Amino acid sequence: AISLVGIFPGKRNEDDISIREEDKPLATFYFLRQQKRKEKEQVYYSLADFFMPASYNKQDYLGMFAVSAGFGIEEFAASFEKKHDDYNSILVKALGDRLAEGLAEYTHEKVRKEIWGYSPDENFSNEDLIREKYRGIRPAPGYPACPDHTEKRTIFRILQAEKYGISLTENCAMLPAGSVSGLYFSHPDSKYFAVGKIGKDQVESYASRKGWDLKTAERWLRPNLAYSESQQNDEIR
């Protein structure tokens, strides 16, 4: 098993966060904002909201991680499949996934208390950790708050994950399978949310910021599109 962690000073530019190392530009992470109309809540979140704006003149940091507990899991599972033992094959793969999630949880705790150290006196029970009572979040690209899987490529490049045996497929699936990656936000009010459906205007903006054409953006964000090619969804503000 292995845990890779990086914490870098950054600067927020609207819905994007640019990080640097030794005052040299390193990378930019691009985020989407909720756009579907809400009946009660009037806040439309982006993960960038949990990073200190440049106008505050204070330095904020963005963390990232890639962990894996999946080394050898596929081969071990395959040994059962050769014996037509599907039950144990599935069990081994499931165990690999659970170990990876457990490693991600453990690594996040080490980051909060020691590596980043923004919450050094934290002392939670296992139940409290499961309920995520701690300060900060670790959203993963491809999940509701950050639906673009390609942001993993930036994480993997910065952490040199391939050097340590963790890689991405062409479609940004992680190998070995029992692996987890994501970002760390330390803001005390940070929370998980779902971006949900977004309009063509935001997709066009996102494509421009990432240097993509519109079709590429639509391909990667397809589950979040609130429009067809010729029709804008009226639920988008």
pLDDT tens per residue, range 162-214: 999 999 999 999 999 999 999 999 999 999 999 999 999 999 999 999 999 99
pLDDT at 39: 87
What does DSSP assign to residue 113? I
What residue ranges of the chain have pLDDT lower than 50?
A: 230
Question: How many structural domains does the chain have?
Answer: 2
Torsion sign over Cα 121, 127, 133, 138: positive
19 shares its domain with 110: yes
Q: What is the mean pLDDT of the chain?
A: 94
pLDDT at 136: 98
pLDDT at 236: 60
pTM tops 0.75: yes
pLDDT for 112 equals: 98
Asked, for residue 173, whether it belongs to a domain, the answer is: yes
Q: What is the identity of the amino acid at 82? A: K
Domain of residue 218 covers: 199-237
CA dihedral 136, 138, 143, 147 (to 10 degrees): 90
Query: Distance between CA atoms of 237 and 235, rounded to whole angstroms?
Result: 6
**What's residue 232's pLDDT?**
52
pLDDT of residue 87: 96
185 contact partners, CB below 8 Å, separation of at least 6: 47, 50, 51, 62, 63, 136, 137, 138, 139
Task: State residue 57's pLDDT score.
Answer: 87
Q: Is residue 81 part of a domain?
A: no
Q: 209 and 114 in one domain?
A: no
Could you tell me if 144 and 230 lie in one domain? no
Question: Could you tell me if 52 and 109 lie in one domain?
Answer: yes
pLDDT at 111: 98
pLDDT of residue 230: 47
The answer to whether 16 touches 183, Cβ cutoff 8 Å, is no
Q: Do 235 and 166 fall within a single domain?
A: no
Considering the domain architecture, whether residues 207 and 164 belong to the same structural domain is answered as no
